[in-house]
Amino acid sequence: MRAAPELADMMLFKRSRLSVIPVTPRQWKIILKRGT
């Protein structure tokens, strides 16, 4: 996911020790697309 520039602002990549983070509907859609 780090390779996706549109996800660069996700809290997961700014604070890598968090395992549960809020995501926007747009970010969730991108994550789901990358998983298929």
Output the pLDDT for position 15. Answer: 61
Q: State which residues of the chain have pLDDT below 50.
A: none
CA nearest to 6, candidates 24, 20, 19, 22:
24
Q: How far apart, in whole angstroms, are the C-alpha atoms of residue 36 and residue 33? A: 6
Determine how many CB atoms are found less than 10 A away from the CB of residue 20: 5
The domain in which residue 26 lies consists of 5-34
Residue 34: both structure tokens together: 């990358």
CB 33 within 8 A of CB 10: no
Query: What is the number of domains present in the chain?
Result: 1
Whether this prediction's pTM lies above 0.75 is answered by no
